[in-house]
Amino acid sequence: MFPLFNVLLAPFVPALWLYTLHRRFVQKKSAASFHGQWGKVSPAMREFGRQNGPKIWLHAVSVGETMAAKPIARALKNEIEGVQIALSSTTDTGHEIAESLLKNGEVDCAFYFALDLAPVQNRVLSALAPDAILFIETELWPNLLHLARRQSIPTFLVNGRVSDNLLKTAPKIGPIWRWMSGNISIFLMRGEDDAARLISLGVAPQKIKVTGDVKLEAPPISSEELRKVWRERLGLIENDKVLICGSTHAGEEEIFLRLAPKLTGWKIAFAPRHPNRFDEVAQLAEQAGFDVITRSSHKKWKPNSIFLLDSVGELGDFYALGDAAFVGGSLVSRGGHNLLEPILRGVPVVFGPFVHNFLAQRDLILQHQLGVQLQTETEIAAWLNALDFNRADFAQRVETALETHRGAAAKMARIIDEAIAKSRG
């Protein structure tokens, strides 16, 4: 399958070249991103490859997966003596988070993920010389997986999930899916439902282990100080209630702009999922008759204004400012985003019907009454206007809800450690 796949891929290489040029010079993406996509090996990557200890390449596509990489990297450091971790990401925003983890000493190398072309990936693989490769959640790349298996490098899908899209697509690309999934050493899945879905796609049960969801094991974060800092920074008074609309997609901001006049005493903040929509969202708010205060302006929040978090990597802490949060990608059919981020900052959450990528989180939240799933604008307005919760009681319920999910990352790390030891002889 490897030769056939690359013969089929070859005609698309010129288009990929033009696409990356367009990203670099028209969309103004970083030069580092462009060079990384074509497999430029940095001195830091070469230095990583020369290390003697166990070396793990951890790949996370964007911000959400890169944030999930944090507890995994921490567990690997705790469980595997002398381990070195290289973290790759695909997007500029994901790379910014990866660079912050590098700066904090949580990983040892950060770089952009290369296009899945065999010569390109082979160059990166040779430079890094990893003892294992970990793909977070849904990221699988056929050529890299094949090259890793050929070099007897164990590969893992960690915190694995099977999206509705994969469930539909895998049968349509049967031979490629079987080749690709066959090259994964072990699937470490976040839940029984995802494991069952994987088995239905033909993966051998003995290659699957359910280790839990690392996003569910995160400890609640003390948010009072964060809340105080944000409120002082934005000039909010005691009675101001704030709704944080995080990770929003096109079509969702308009809903809350329409709702704003119906919400008694609430101020609204938007944190779009994609930074390239910052200007678009600001324009939408202005067209709806609101002033826009941006994070980058460092101005105080004024009456009749919408706040726009036009920064990357701050949303998690920014949720602490809220009295309620909406998690985007759920009122439009995107499958949702991490529903636990606001919960961990002591803030109840509302989300729409489209959370099929986060069903375990949804069930946990609804079971412990940490938020609501609503369908319509009218329902959302009614819930917000009636919301009255005790922060101390809410924090206790969060602690109770997460207690049974501790240790997922440590389980993953132990399994990976065993596999590395076995492969190294």
Q: What is the DSSP letter of 410?
A: H
Which among 80-89, 394-403, 404-413 has the top mean pLDDT? 80-89
Same domain, 249 and 386: yes
Q: Model confidence at 164, in pLDDT bands (50, 70, 90)?
A: confident
Q: What is the pTM of this model?
A: 0.84
* pLDDT for res 219: 67
Q: What is the CATH number of the domain that holds 46?
A: 3.40.50.11720
Strand order in the sheet with 208-210: 109-112, 84-89, 55-59, 132-136, 155-160, 186-189, 208-210
Same domain, 42 and 187: yes
Burial class (CB in 10 A: 0-12, 13-18, 19+), 383: middle
Amino acid sitting at position 221: I
* pLDDT for res 402: 87
Tell me what percent of the chain is helix, strand and coil, each rounded to the nearest 5: 50, 15, 35
Q: What digits encode the pLDDT tens for the residues 10-35?
A: 999 999 999 999 988 988 888 999 99
CA separation for the pair 222, 375 (Å, rounded): 31
**CA 69 vs CA 154, 275, 425: distances in Å:** 18, 21, 27
Same domain, 340 and 228: yes
Same domain, 22 and 168: yes
What mean pLDDT is reported for the chain? 93
CA separation for the pair 349, 340 (Å, rounded): 8
Show the tokens assigned to 266: 């609430």
Same domain, 208 and 347: no
Same domain, 273 and 413: no
Cβ neighbours of residue 106 under 8 Å, at least 6 residues apart?
Answer: 70, 73, 74, 77, 85
Q: How many CA atoms lie within 13 A of 351 on its CB side?
A: 36
Same domain, 275 and 313: yes
Same domain, 115 and 185: yes
Q: Model confidence at 7, in pLDDT bands (50, 70, 90)?
A: confident
**CA 210 vs CA 62, 73, 260, 355: distances in Å:** 23, 18, 43, 21
* Cα pseudo-dihedral 411, 413, 418, 422, rounded to 10: 150
Lowest model confidence (mean pLDDT) among 179-183, 224-228, 269-273, 296-300? 224-228
CA separation for the pair 134, 182 (Å, rounded): 15
Same domain, 345 and 260: yes
Same domain, 138 and 285: no
Task: Report how far apart the first and last C-alpha atoms of the chain are (Å, whole number).
Answer: 29
Same domain, 184 and 155: yes
Q: What is the mean pLDDT of residues 377-383?
A: 97
**Percent of the chain's residues with pLDDT above 90:** 76
Look at phi and psi of residue 212 and say left if phi exceeds 0, alpha if psi is from -120 to 50, else beta: left
Q: How far is CA 44 from the centre of its chain?
A: 25
Q: What is the mean pLDDT of residues 385-398?
A: 92
Whether 65 is catalytic is: yes
Work out whether strand 55-59 and strand 132-136 pair parallel, antiparallel, or are unpaired.
parallel
Q: What is the mean pLDDT of residues 122-130?
A: 98
Same domain, 90 and 235: no
CA separation for the pair 216, 167 (Å, rounded): 23
Tally the domains of the chain.
Answer: 2
- Domain containing 184: what range? 2-216+406-423
Q: What is the mean pLDDT of residues 382-407?
A: 90
CA separation for the pair 283, 285 (Å, rounded): 5
Q: Model confidence at 252, in pLDDT bands (50, 70, 90)?
A: very high
Q: What is the mean pLDDT of residues 128-148?
A: 95
Q: Which of 47, 65, 232, 253 is catalytic?
A: 65
Q: Model confidence at 36, in pLDDT bands (50, 70, 90)?
A: very high
* pLDDT for res 81: 93
DSSP string, 66-118: HHHHHHHHHHHHHHSTT-EEEEEESSHHHHHHHHHHHHTTS-SEEEEPPPS-H
Q: Model confidence at 425, in pLDDT bands (50, 70, 90)?
A: low
Q: What digits encode the pLDDT tens for the residues 290-347?
A: 999 999 999 999 999 999 999 988 999 999 999 999 999 999 999 999 999 999 999 9
Cβ neighbours of residue 278 under 8 Å, at least 6 residues apart?
Answer: 272, 294, 308, 310
DSSP string, 8-72: HHGGGHHHHHHHHHHHHHTS---HHHHHHHTTPPPHHHHHHHT--S-EEEEE--SHHHHHHHHHH
Q: What is the CATH number of the domain that holds 360?
A: 3.40.50.2000
Residue written as token pair 């839990």: 212
